[in-house]
Amino acid sequence: TNIAGHAANNCFGVKGMCVRSMTDGLMHLLRPESMSKGVKVVFCEDGSIVIDLHIMVDREINIAAIGESIIHRVQHDVEKSTGTTVKGVNIYVDSISED
């Protein structure tokens, strides 16, 4: 989760990882040391993984382009660092930053 969160967070246009608050139901930007909370890793039977990322993006950014960039970077960084095959990366744009 840390490798995937760090890779996504360093892509152009990503404001950060976010998570839904249980108390107020709103999306909150995570501090860099907590970014893995916006990442979910699911292990498949074949030994590969699927990664879900919950992100906040900057306003006026091409979401399709940033999504493709994040997918490639996360897949590359995780596979290079762990040797585990990444079967898929799902990106959820939960919020758009206004500043």
Q: Is 59 helix (H, G, I), strand (E, B) or coil?
A: coil
pLDDT score at 37: 77
Q: What is the mean pLDDT of each run of 10 residues along the chain (99 residues)?
A: 92 84 61 74 96 91 93 97 96 85
38 token code pair: 């916006």
pLDDT score at 30: 61
pLDDT score at 97: 83
C-alpha to C-alpha distance for 57 and 78, rounded to whole angstroms: 21
pLDDT score at 62: 92
